[in-house]
Amino acid sequence: MLDDSLKTQLQQYMGLLRQPLRLIASLDDSSASQDMRGLLDDIVAAGGGKITLDTSGADARKPSFVVAREGKNHGVRFAGLPLGHEFESLVLALLWTGGHPPKVAQDVIDSITAIDGEYSFDVYMSLTCHNCPDVVQALALMAILNPKISTTVIEGGTFQQEVEQRQVMAVPMVFQGGEMFDSGRMSLEQIVAKLDTGAVAREAEKIKAKDAFDVLVVGGGPAGAAAAIYAARKGIRTGVAAERFGGQVLDTMAIENFISVQHTEGPKLAAALEAHVREYEVDIMNLQRAAKLVPAGADGLVEVQLENGASLKSKTVILSTGARWRQMNVPGEDEYRNKGVAYCPHCDGPLFKGKRVAVIGGGNSGVEAAIDLAGIVSHVTVFEFDSKLRADQVLQAKLNSLPNVKVVLNAQTTEVLGDGQKVNGLVYTDRVGGDSHRVELEGIFVQIGLLPNTEWLRGTVELSGRGEIIIDDRGQTNVPGVFAAGDCTTVPYKQIIIAMGAGSTAALSAFDHLIRTPVLQPAAVEAATA
């Protein structure tokens, strides 16, 4: 089943097993079961005698198998082949079940083992989804660490009927106890916090007790990571408050313009960024969303108030909150999000195999999405607001060569239509003639650019008409001691490598600000605040 290269890698990893494993398979006579049996045989062969195969499983989902410790029946179940992006998830499930320690903070592990109550998770994924592994691995680890939690990982292409019945129109999608739990990329910490209702309050209290930082970075994308590293290397007290470490990079598939790295993927780069930051004494505070910035007062400290009620203070602050996908903001978009309205063609494209879809946007992202989808779906219609496509000519040439793609220019999408359960069409207006048209389809992929995450800064930091933080060539904002970097700023050309450079600039500027700012004496501070 596996090629020689993967077999070699698997054998190396299985050498790390500390406890014997048992694979409990539920198979039938289908070709999919034959493929799974081949995969399981390869795993057993790679185990060096530490892995056995039991084919007596009687689970309703066939083909599927459970990864369990010898003598146990509890473990992670994989329904369908966990290959593609999920091969790593399979390897990690084998290692963790076999006693190899996960690279997870001890307080998170303690929170998982302390979760009370019975939880049964079904997570739907596709083999091309780069957002799925984080969710799959998180729920797998939780099932391995806590016997009250069960997790089944379902490959949607193998169980198409089940996908249709549950109206799974985007992955990853998670059900708990038969009910919708959540969808989209989630970190382990996010899932644990959702189950542990007291986690947010406890984390807020921990944050409140923290001393002031020299440099506080708000945001954990490429700009924030670079800023944190450059600040920490100066030997000053550095903190990072991030909603999710990696930021927009986590939603990027192929990266081929990061100099010296010929090809990588967003989640891999994000993981590398976080690992690099953790090499230094940086206080990383994940799952933290900033709500308000308060300029420095008499104490010389800038305050960042968080949505959980806590606040952080720092001598300098670097804003690197990045950007998010722009939405159409039309009726029906919110109602049918993840029910036909999607934003990631790589992740969700396979779920629309043989169906009719639309791509909103004629820039590089939109045209690339259309080209990608054309090989999966029956037909793609590209809707562009402008009178011409804005994508590179080489992409337009490729698009025009595809027989199942149509381009509609001067098209303003006005409504997403559905039957109450899923998308069945859209309405657009011809901006030239003014006529309204209805198009029957099953999926809509929105690819119309990004919006800066700066709403919380309005009235405090000077913003451009597009909502970007206005900075000078040193990354300084109009607020003393507050710097900014990356896609949330007015820096031209929103690129990963440019964001990293901007983050480095902001950190060096913040350090320069610190060494040139007179140290306030306690008596002076008390007098000013009296």
Task: Annotate 161-181 with three-state secondary structure.
Answer: HHHHHCCCCCCCEEEECCEEE
The domain that contains 29 carries what CATH number?
A: 3.40.30.80
Helices (H) and strands (E) counted in the chain, each on its own, are: 15, 27
Please say which residue of 448, 471, 503 terminates a domain. 448
The domain that contains 214 carries what CATH number?
A: 3.50.50.60
Tell me, yes or no, whether 308 lies in a domain.
Answer: yes
Tell me, yes or no, whether 336 lies in a domain.
Answer: no
Please say which residue of 167, 197, 227 terminates a domain. 197
Identify whether residues 220 and 304 lie together within a single domain.
Answer: yes
Q: Domain range holding 153?
A: 4-197
The CB-side HSE value for 291 (13 A sphere, CA atoms) comes to 10
**What's the rounded Cα separation, in Å, for the pair 203 and 197?**
11
Which pair of tokens denotes residue 126? Answer: 């596709």
The one-letter amino acid code at 339 reads K
Please say which residue of 419, 448, 477 terminates a domain. 448
**What's the rounded Cα separation, in Å, for the pair 354 and 370?**
14
Tell me, yes or no, whether 64 lies in a domain.
Answer: yes
Residue 420 DSSP class: S
Length of the chain: 530
Identify whether residues 306 and 347 lie together within a single domain.
Answer: no
Identify whether residues 109 and 143 lie together within a single domain.
Answer: yes
Q: Count of domains in the chain? A: 3
Which pLDDT tens digits describe the chain residue by residue (530 residues)? Answer: 899 999 999 999 999 999 999 999 999 999 999 999 999 999 999 999 999 999 999 999 999 999 999 988 899 999 999 999 899 999 999 999 999 999 998 989 999 999 988 999 999 999 988 889 999 999 999 999 999 999 999 999 899 999 989 989 889 999 999 999 998 889 999 999 899 877 788 889 999 999 999 999 999 999 999 999 999 999 999 999 999 999 988 877 678 889 999 989 888 899 999 999 999 999 999 999 999 999 999 999 999 999 999 999 999 999 999 998 889 999 999 999 888 998 888 778 888 999 999 999 999 989 999 999 999 999 999 999 999 999 999 999 999 999 999 999 999 999 999 999 899 999 999 999 999 999 999 999 999 988 999 999 999 999 999 999 999 999 999 999 999 999 999 999 889 999 999 999 999 999 999 999 987 666 555 555 55
The enclosing H or E element of 67 equals strand 64-69
Pairing of strands 436-440, 341-342: unpaired
Coil, strand or helix: which one is 37? helix
Identify whether residues 271 and 365 lie together within a single domain.
Answer: no
Edge-to-edge strands of the sheet including 21-26? 51-54, 21-26, 64-69, 75-79, 149-155, 119-125, 173-176, 179-183
Tell me, yes or no, whether 333 lies in a domain.
Answer: no
Q: Which residue from 302, 320, 360, 364 is spatially nearest to 452, judged by alpha carbons?
A: 320
Specify the pTM. Answer: 0.79
The radius of gyration computed from the CA coordinates of the chain, to the nearest angstrom, equals 25
Task: Annotate 499-512 with three-state secondary structure.
Answer: HHHHHHHHHHHHHH
**What's the rounded Cα separation, in Å, for the pair 31 and 475?**
58
Coil, strand or helix: which one is 128? coil
Identify whether residues 123 and 140 lie together within a single domain.
Answer: yes
Asked, as a colleague might, if the bond just before 63 is cis with ω within 30 of 0, I would say yes
What confidence score (pLDDT) does residue 369 get?
A: 94
Tell me, yes or no, whether 332 lies in a domain.
Answer: no
**Cross-strand bridge partners of residue 484:** 319
Identify whether residues 33 and 135 lie together within a single domain.
Answer: yes
The enclosing H or E element of 229 equals helix 222-232
Identify whether residues 248 and 349 lie together within a single domain.
Answer: no
Identify whether residues 168 and 286 lie together within a single domain.
Answer: no
Task: Annotate 204-222 with three-state secondary structure.
Answer: HHHHHCCCCEEEEEECCCH
Identify whether residues 242 and 158 lie together within a single domain.
Answer: no
Tell me, yes or no, whether 223 lies in a domain.
Answer: yes
How many other C-beta atoms lie within 10 A of the C-beta of residue 289? 15
Residue in the block written with tokens 């169980």: 159
**What's the rounded Cα separation, in Å, for the pair 188 and 200?**
14
**Cross-strand bridge partners of residue 332:** none
Identify whether residues 171 and 287 lie together within a single domain.
Answer: no
Identify whether residues 165 and 67 lie together within a single domain.
Answer: yes
Identify whether residues 25 and 138 lie together within a single domain.
Answer: yes
